[in-house]
């Protein structure tokens, strides 16, 4: 299969936070944000896969800053690594106050998608070629995140998680443990 570049999957989505999107404190509801993130990251995954995709994993999403009524949510998504039939998509989420001209990062997350064929069976996808330094770092770290996801899902035994073992060893070495 022909290789693809990470930049080809870049997707940006904007949503205005309206009263129906907020809780009683005037903040964007977390579920609404997760919904928008799923849509944006799925579009990014589909750009890479050139195929329909299904969400298979949502990594830890921490809410660093609440997003207020009237702000614009900007979600930037890009594939970080392609495996045999799956892709990892990284997102950065920003809250913008257009009248004030501010843009503040509120969240970051990784979603995983599997490419499926017309019979809903996993379909092989093109490998990803990282170009920039940050793309290369995210590409390499994706193996650790993937192992952790598989480990937590019970699809990988701890002794098979070599990337995580290497990370733990490096941590222990650096900290004299």
Residue 142 lies in a domain: no
Residue 93 lies in a domain: yes
Residue 117 lies in a domain: yes
Residue 166 lies in a domain: no
Residue 148 lies in a domain: no
Q: Would the pTM of this model clear 0.85, i.e. be above it?
A: yes
Report the C-alpha gap between 130 and 137 in whole angstroms: 9
Residue position matching structure tokens 């996993």: 122
Domain that holds residue 32: 4-130
Count the domains in the chain.
1
Residue pLDDT, tens place only, 21-36 = 999 999 999 999 999 9
Residue 150 lies in a domain: no
Q: Which CATH number belongs to the domain containing residue 10 in this structure?
A: 3.10.129.10
Angle at the Cα of 73 from the Cα atoms of 145 and 15, rounded to 5 degrees: 115
Residue pLDDT, tens place only, 75-132 = 999 999 999 999 999 999 999 999 999 999 999 999 999 999 999 999 999 999 999 9
Residue 152 lies in a domain: no
Residue 173 lies in a domain: no
Residue pLDDT, tens place only, 124-168 = 999 999 999 999 999 999 998 988 888 888 887 877 878 777 777
């Amino acid at each position: 299969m022909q290789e693809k570049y990470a930049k080809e999957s870049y997707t940006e989505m904007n949503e205005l936070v309206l009263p129906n999107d907020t809780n009683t404190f005037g903040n964007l509801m977390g579920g609404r944000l997760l919904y928008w993130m799923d849509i944006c990251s799925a579009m990014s995954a589909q750009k890479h896969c050139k195929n329909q995709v299904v969400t298979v994993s949502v990594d830890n999403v921490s809410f660093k800053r609440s997003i207020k009524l009237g702000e614009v949510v900007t979600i930037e998504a890009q594939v970080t690594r392609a495996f045999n039939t799956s892709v990892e998509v990284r997102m950065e989420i920003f809250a913008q106050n257009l009248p004030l001209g501010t843009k503040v990062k509120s969240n970051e997350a990784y979603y995983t998608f599997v490419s499926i064929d017309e019979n809903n069976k996993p379909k092989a996808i093109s490998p990803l070629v990282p170009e920039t330094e940050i793309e290369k770092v995210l590409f390499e770290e994706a193996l650790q995140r993937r192992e952790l996801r598989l480990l937590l899902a019970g699809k990988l035994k701890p002794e098979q998680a070599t990337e995580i073992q290497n990370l733990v060893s490096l941590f222990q070495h650096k900290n004299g443990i």
